[in-house]
Amino acid sequence: MSAIDDAARELSRLPGIGPKTASRLVHHLMKGPAEDGLRLGRAIAALVERVRPCAQCGNFGEEEVCQVCRDQERDPSVLCVVEGAFEVASIEATGQYRGRFHVLGGRLSPLDGVGPEDLSVERLLERIRTAEGGIAEVILATSPSVEGEATAVYLESVIRPLGPRVTRLARGIPMGSDLEYVDGSTIVEALAGRREM
């Protein structure tokens, strides 16, 4: 197989990149300086060679324990539970969260045969039980879908007996959106969660 076809095939394995986009990217790389493509190739190789899940929270990092878990400035008594490491990155990008994380590795989905034993639920409970100084609050930040919701309900039922406050992210109208384009169930949640001004 030619280098062109091979690169296009590998790129089109990425999510959201079809054969046409892959071909366009390949042509972009061929047109540009070779050094750009070499740097991209090296960066991807270094990524998958060096990055690994954090032994504590499951977030991606380059050390045994990730940057967030190593950061002594952060509040170790607050855990934010997310489905994947991508959500850690989204929350970290805001720069407003000062607690730690726990990455579940998915959400409960009985139809796909994903039960609590397929997620890092046991590790989460273990962390709560053994945390030095204790865990004061667990914020459930699973996705606002039926399955994410079910996962949150299940987690609440197993975490609360251990002591911590269990909260979840607020539902409501997203900032900058037009009410006209917000779906009905979001408006219902926003009404139910309305706050004094």
Is 89 among the residues that bind a second copy (CB under 8 A)? yes
Q: Which two tokens stand for residue 116?
A: 């609590």
Q: How many CB atoms lie within 10 A of CB 58?
A: 22
Candidates 4-12, 141-149, 152-160, 171-179 — which segment interacts with a second copy by CB under 8 A?
4-12
Residue 79 contacts by C-beta under 8 Å, 6 or more apart in sequence?
99, 100, 101, 102, 124, 127, 128, 135, 137, 138, 139, 164
Does 55 contact a second copy by CB under 8 A? no
Asked whether position 94 contacts a second copy by CB under 8 A, the answer is: no
65 binds a second copy per the rule CB under 8 A: no
Residue 43 engages a second copy in binding (rule: CB under 8 A): yes
First to last CA, the chain: 64
Under the binding rule (CB under 8 A), the answer on residue 62 touching a second copy is yes
In this structure, what token pair is assigned to residue 91? 């929350």
CB of 56 to a second copy, least distance (A): 17
Shortest distance, position 74 Cβ to a second copy, whole Å:
18
Which residue's entry shows tokens 């273990």?
126
Q: Which of 159, 96, 161 is nearest to 123 (CA)?
A: 159
Q: Which is nearer to a second copy, 59 or 166 (CB)?
A: 59
Provide φ and ψ at 79, rounded to 5°: -115, 130
| Closest to a second copy by CB, 76 or 84 | 84
Q: Where on the chain is the footprint of a second copy (CB under 8 A)? A: 2-4, 6-7, 9-11, 13-16, 21, 23-31, 34, 36-51, 60-62, 67, 84-86, 89
